[in-house]
Amino acid sequence: SQTLQWKVREGIEMALLKMCRCGKIIPQALEMCPECAQHAADRHKEYNATRRNKRAYAFYTSAEWRKARALRLQHAGGLDLYALYVDGVIQYAEMVHHIVPLSEDWSKRCEQRNLFPLTNANHNKIEALYDSSIAEKKQTQQLLRRLLERFEAEQRGVRGKFGAPRG
C-alpha cells in the first residue's frame, strides 16, 4: 500500500502492522490510530459527562474502589473464578464485577463478598444472564457467591495443610 511504501521510504522500521478501524495502517502495538483514539476519548468524555451515573462514575475513579478492586484480585490470585470453576480453564481476571450492583445496594460497593473477578468476556456473559430475567439474575448471583465461598474454602484448606504463605 502507499502508506506502507511511504513509511519504508522515510526509514521507519515497522515489521508488524495492522489496519485501524478507519482503514489506516498502524503499528500492531497500537490499539487504534491517533485520530480514532482522540475520537474515542471524546466520545467517552461526552458519555461520562451527560449519561453516566455521576455517583457511580465518581466511585469507579476513586482510591476506595481501586483499593477494593486490587484486594479482590489479589485474594483470587488474579484469576477469573467463573472461568476456573464453571469452564474449567485458568484465565486472568481483567475486571471486578459487583454481584449486587451499585444501583441496588450502594453499601455493598466495597464488600469483598460482593466483588467477583472476571475476564471481560465472562463479565459480558454474566451481565447478559442478569438482564435475561429476575430469576436468572438471582440464580447467577447465588452461583457467584457459591464460587467465591468454594475458592475461599479451598484457600483455607491449602493454608491449613502448608501453613501461611511467607512474605
pLDDT for 14 equals 47
pLDDT for 166 equals 53
pLDDT for 35 equals 95
Q: In whole angstroms, give the CA distance from residue 117 to residue 95.
A: 6
Please report, for residues 85, 126, 153, 160, 164, the alpha-carbon distance to residue 156 in angstroms, rounded to integers and kept in the order given: 17, 27, 5, 6, 9
Consecutive 10-residue runs of the chain (167 residues): their mean pLDDT?
Answer: 52 74 91 93 79 84 96 97 97 97 96 97 97 98 97 82 55
Q: In whole angstroms, give the CA distance from residue 165 to residue 23.
A: 51
